[in-house]
Amino acid sequence: MASETVLVIGGGPAGMEAARSVADLGYPVLLVERRDRLGGRPEEEHYAKLTHHFREAEDMIRELVEAVTTHSNVTVMTSSEVVGCEGEPGNFRVKIRNGASAEEVTVGSIIVATGFQHFDPGRETQMYNYYTFPDVITIADLEGMLKAHQVVRPSNGQPPERVAFIQCVGSRDRQIGNEFCSKVCCGIASKQAIEVKQQLPDSRVFIFYIDMRMYGYWENEIYWPAQEEYKVNYVKGIVSEILPKGDRLLIRGEDTTMGRPMEVTVDLVVLSVGMEPSEGTRKIAKILDIRQNKYGYIEAGGPTGVDPVATSRPGIFVAGAASGPADLDDTFATAGLAAARAVATVRRLQLAKAA
Amino acid sequence: MDWVSTKPDKYADVPYEEKLRLFLEVKNDPRYEDFLYGCYECGICVSACPSARFYDFSPRVIAQAMAREDVDRFYEILVEDIWNCAQCFSCVRCPRQNNPGGLVTLIREVAVRNGLKEARDVLQGYSRVIYKVMLKGNQVSPDMLQPDFFPDWGPWVREFSENMDVWRRAIPVDTLRGVTDAAWRTDEKTLLELYTIWFETNNIDIIQEVDEGLYELLLDVMEEALEEVA
C-alpha cells in the first residue's frame, strides 16, 4: 500500500517551511534533521537581521520551529541522518540513522532541503589572508557580531573606524571553480553595511564590487538607503591583495570608474563569501541517487527544464539552497512548491488506487 | 587623507585642511542633498553631456568624487573640471535623480565666493556682462559682440564681430531696431531696487572677491544713485 507520508530532509528554513506546508495541506510529514535542533544555517551561524524589513532572523526561525513542532501532522527527528533509500513514489523505503540505532521508514515522496554552506576563503588559495589576519572576517562572522552588537576588530577588541566589504569571494571565479553568482551576497553585504552604520554611526564603510546585483525590491529597500541615507561607498573594483599597515590593513585594487589604482587603509575587512552546496547536500544526492550539477548542487529543472523543485528522480523534490544559491524569498517559494508537488505525488497514487 | 590614490596628487601643495574646508562648504549647502542621492556610475549623464564630447569633463566623475568624499579629487574638480560645464542640465536625466549640473553650480559658487584664481580668470571675459547685469538688470544685446569677450561663443567670434555689421545689412529686414535701447531701458525705481538687492544680499562683496576694478566701477554708480534718492 502506498504511503502518504512526506519525508523532508533538513530542518532549516526550506525544510521547515516545506514541512509546515505539507502538514497544512493535511498530510503527515517526517522532518529529519542532522543537528540536534531545528533552525538550519540562520540559527547555526547566528544571523542578525533579514534583508526584508530588517526583521530579526531569530524571530522568523522561532516562528517556523514553533509551527512545525506544534503541528499534529509533523514528526520531527533531530540528530538523525538519512543513510539509504530505495523504492519509488508511494513506496520509498528510507533508512534513518539516529546515533547508534537505525530504522527504516516507508514514505510516499521526499523533499530535499539540505541547503548550502559558506565558501571557505582559506580553502583554495589563502585568499585575502583570512586565516592569517584576524581583522579579515567573512559576512557569516559579521552576522554574529551584529547580532551581539559587538562589531569590533578581532585583533584588539576595538570598534573599527573603517570597514571594507569585498564582494564575490568564492563566486564568479573560474580559477576557484565556482563560476556562478551566489545571488545573495550583494544584498547581505549592503544590509550589513547599514547595520554597521546603525551600530557605529561614525564609521566609514566601503563595498568593493564587480557588479552590484540588487534585484527586485532590494534595490530600493537596501541598495539606495545604504548609499543615500547611510553614505556607504560603493566602489567598482575588486581588491587584489590585503597587506598589513601598522596595526591596520592596506587594501589594493582599482577604482575602475574613476580610472585609477587605489590603496585604502581600513580596520576591518569583510569577505562576502558565496554559497556552496553543503556537505549534507553533496551526501544526500549520492544516497538518493539524484543528479548533481558540476558544482555539486542538486540539479533541478525536471522535464520542462524550468521546474525549480523537480529532481532527476520522480517523487523526490528539492527546496531552498540545495539546488543552488537562494535567498529566503526563493527558499520559501520553492519550499511551498515542493510541498505541493510532494503532496500531489502521494494524492495522485491514492486517487489512482481508489478508482 | 581619505583616499590614497597611487597617482600623485596634482595639488599636493594646497593644504588638505583648505581643500576640506572648501569641500564642506559645498557639502553643507542646503541644496546639496537634493542634488546628489547615490551614483550607479551608469554614465547616462556623460552620454547626455555636450561638454564631455569636447573636453576632459565628466559629470559622473563629479557626482562620484562628491559621493566618495574624495577631497583631493574634489579640489581638482573645483579648479579645473567645473569650468568646462555649459550648465545645460542635460545630465538631470539621471535615473537616481541626481543633478550633476547642480553640483557644478554649487562648486562654482564656492569658487567665486572664495575668490579663487580660477574663478577670477574665467570671469575676466565676462566683466562687461556682469557690469551690465548689475547696472541695468540685463546683460548682452546682440550688437555687443566683441573679439576679446565671450570666449564661449567660439573661435569664430573674431570673424563674426568684424563682419556682423555688413552681414546684418545684407538681411532685408531691419534686424536691430530698438533692441539695444530696449535691452537696457530700465526704470529708475527698478534700478534702485536692484542696487539695494546687490548690497543686501552681499552680491557686491562677491564681485569684490573676483574683480576689484569692476567692483570699484559698480560701486561708484550704484552708491551715487542710491545717495541721490536718500
- Is A264 within 8 Å of B73 when comparing Cβ atoms? no
Tell me the chain A residues in contact with residue B4 when contact means C-beta distances shorter than 8 Å.
262-265
- Paired residues of A80 in beta bridges: A98
Question: So what's the pLDDT on residue B1?
Answer: 46
A294 touching B (Cβ < 8 Å): no
Question: Is residue A93 pLDDT above 70, yes or no?
Answer: yes
0.95 surpassed by complex ipTM: no
Closest CA to B197 of B134, B149, B139, B107: B134
Q: Hey, what's the torsion of the CAs at A205, B105, B190, B227, to 10 degrees? A: 80
Q: Which of B4, B39, B65 sits opposite A263 (nearest CB)?
A: B4
Residues from chain B that touch A223, judged by Cβ atoms under 8 A, are 38
B138 with B145: CB under 8 angstroms?
no
Q: Is A236 on the interface with B (CB under 8 A)?
A: yes
Strand A260-266 and strand A248-255: pairing?
antiparallel
pLDDT per residue as tens digits for the range A136-174:
999 999 999 999 999 999 999 999 999 999 999 999 999
Residues with Cβ within 8 Å of A25's Cβ and at least 6 positions away in sequence, in order, are A339, A340, A343
Give the nearest chain A residue to B68 (CA atoms).
A233
**CA-to-CA distance for B120 and B109, rounded, in angstroms?**
12
pLDDT of B4: 60
Q: Kindly report, residue by residue over A30-84, the tens digit of the pLDDT.
A: 999 999 999 999 999 999 999 888 999 999 999 999 999 999 999 999 999 999 9
Which residue(s) pair with B109 in the sheet? none
Inter-residue contact A3 to A91 (CB < 8 Å): yes
Would an 8 Å CB–CB cutoff place A265 in contact with chain B?
yes
User: Could you tell me which residues of chain B have a Cβ less than 8 Å from any Cβ in chain A?
Assistant: 3-7, 37-39, 41, 60-61, 64-65, 67-70, 73, 96
- Of the candidates A30, A25, A21, A24, the one whose C-alpha atom is nearest the C-alpha of residue A3 is A30
> Is the pLDDT reported for residue A248 higher than 70?
yes
Q: In this complex, which of B3, B7, B60 lies closest to A264 when CB atoms are compared?
A: B3
B168 band by pLDDT with thresholds 50, 70 and 90: confident
Compute the radius of gyration of chain B from its Cα atoms.
21
B-chain residues near A257 (CB < 8 A)? 41, 60, 64
Residues A258, B37: C-beta atoms closer than 8 Å: no
Mutate to test the interface with A, among B44, B57, B64 (most CBs of A within 10 A): B64
- State whether A264 and B4 contact (CB < 8 Å): yes
Task: Please check the confidence at residue A94 and state whether its pLDDT lies above 70.
Answer: yes
**CA neighbor of A174 nearest in space, from A292, A294, A257:** A294
Domains (range + CATH), chain B = 16-121 (1.10.1060.10), 124-229 (no CATH)
Go through the domains of chain A in sequence order and give each one's CATH number: 6-115+278-354 (3.50.50.60), 118-275 (3.50.50.60)
Enter the C-alpha cell of residue B7.
597617482
DSSP class per residue in A266-331: ESEEEEEE-EEE-HHHHHHHHHHT--B-TTSSBP-BTTTS-BTTB-SSTTEEE-GGGSS---HHHH
Ranges A110-114, A250-254, A329-333, B134-138: which has the least confidence = B134-138
Is A263–B5 a contact, with Cβ atoms under 8 angstroms apart? yes
Q: A298 — phi, psi (to 5°)? A: -75, 130
Kindly give, in sequence order, each residue whose CB lies less than 8 Å from that of residue A92, ignoring residues fewer than 6 positions away. A3, A7, A85, A86, A106, A107, A108, A109, A110, A315, A316
Contact B41 A236 (CB under 8 A): yes
